[in-house]
Homo-oligomer: A and B are copies of this chain.
Amino acid sequence: MSRASLNTATVKHATLAEACEAAANAGFGAVGPWRDVVQAVGAPQAARIIADAGLRASSLCRGGFLTAADDAGIRAALDDNKQAIEEAATIGTSELVFVVGGLVGSTPGGAPTSGVDRDLVATRGRVADRIADLVPFAAEHGVRIVLEPLHPIFAADRAVISTLAQALDLAAPFAASEVGVVVDTYHVWWDPALQRSIARAGREDRIASYQVCDWALPLAAEPLNSRGHVGDGYIDFATITGWVRDAGYVGDIETEIFNEQIWAEPTSKTAETVLSRYDQHVAPHL
């Protein structure tokens, strides 16, 4: 069974059923659904759709958004993440990917509001506090909180976890079954400490997902959607995949691409291209 997983963000305009059909036809072993497509049919039905297609759920994207400083914001974040944990358990994945959010008062892609809180150290401290709040509930449900470092281009407005080493430091107080990390090539490829951090993540048994897509230039007008098909950008997939292999990771590899042009393609065509690039640039190095 292929270790390739199609993340539903790559086929943004497809329903879960359409994504699963395309993935199964192309030869994927798994899908990585986002909460929007799960919630559109309800988690129990989503579980059936995935299983009926003969696929695994490699992860659920995404929980997180933990940086609020006020009581109402903290309560809302905890409530929403508890729901995400239940959804992950229902669809049959143990891995819930967390994107933790940016500075309070930041505007995704936009200028700071007058009340923005620029204290990055304190913001990161609140993320640690919220993870501690959520671990017991997640563990009861057999779900692991999986921290995703995002590229530093997003540090202000989307995610204050910026390196794999930082994610591992945040995970350190908890068991490997409770808090893991994502290695996403797009976000971490540039990191001078990457080989060392991937090896550490392997030793600590925390690699919950290996995600691939390419660093394509020029950046899109919305930099979030700049990602390219594997092979179309600057990332050395042979080397990084080898590091992940050497770290002992044997789980699924998700391709997750945000890109307006790719979203405009037919779902089946995207699934085929993604798998072909995986076969060419990733699988030989596993």
Give me the interface of A with B, judged by CB distance under 8 Å.
Answer: 103, 106-107, 109-112, 116, 118-121, 124, 151-153, 155-157, 161-163, 165-166, 169, 189-193, 195, 215-219, 221, 223, 232-236, 239
Closest to A151 in B: B152
Known: A124-B192, A191-B162. A103 touches B234 (CB 8 A): yes
Contacts of A109 in B (CB 8 A): 217-219
* Complex CA distance for A109 and B157, rounded to whole angstroms: 22
Residue among A153, A157, A162 with the most chain B CB within 10 A? A153
A247 to chain B, nearest CB (A): 16
Contacts of A119 in B (CB 8 A): 236, 239
Closest to A111 in B: B217
Q: What is the count of identical protomers in the complex?
A: 2
Known: A112-B234, A118-B236, A119-B236. A107 touches B217 (CB 8 A): yes
* Complex CA distance for A10 and B20, rounded to whole angstroms: 52
* Complex CA distance for A196 and B226, rounded to whole angstroms: 32
**Is A166 a contact partner of B192 (Cβ separation < 8 A)?**
yes
* Complex CA distance for A221 and B217, rounded to whole angstroms: 12
Q: What 4 additional pairs, Cβ within 8 angstroms, besides A119-B239, A162-B191? A: A118-B234, A118-B236, A162-B190, A165-B192
**Is B155 a contact partner of A190 (Cβ separation < 8 A)?**
yes
* B157, B165, B233, B239: the one within 8 Å of A217 (CB): B157
Closest to A149 in B: B192
**Is B193 a contact partner of A110 (Cβ separation < 8 A)?**
no
Closest to A152 in B: B190
Known: A110-B218, A162-B192, A192-B165. A236 touches B151 (CB 8 A): no
A196 to chain B, nearest CB (A): 11
**Is B234 a contact partner of A116 (Cβ separation < 8 A)?**
yes
* Complex CA distance for A109 and B165, rounded to whole angstroms: 28
Residue among A106, A107, A215 with the most chain B CB within 10 A? A215
**Is A223 a contact partner of B234 (Cβ separation < 8 A)?**
no
**Is B120 a contact partner of A190 (Cβ separation < 8 A)?**
yes
A255 to chain B, nearest CB (A): 18
Contacts of A155 in B (CB 8 A): 189-190
Known: A162-B190, A234-B156. A216 touches B111 (CB 8 A): yes
Listed by A's residue number, 26 A-B pairs whose Cβ atoms lie within 8 Å are A106-B234, A107-B217, A110-B217, A111-B217, A111-B233, A112-B217, A112-B234, A118-B235, A119-B236, A120-B189, A120-B190, A121-B195, A121-B239, A124-B192, A152-B191, A153-B219, A155-B189, A162-B192, A163-B191, A163-B192, A166-B192, A166-B193, A219-B219, A219-B223, A221-B221, A223-B223
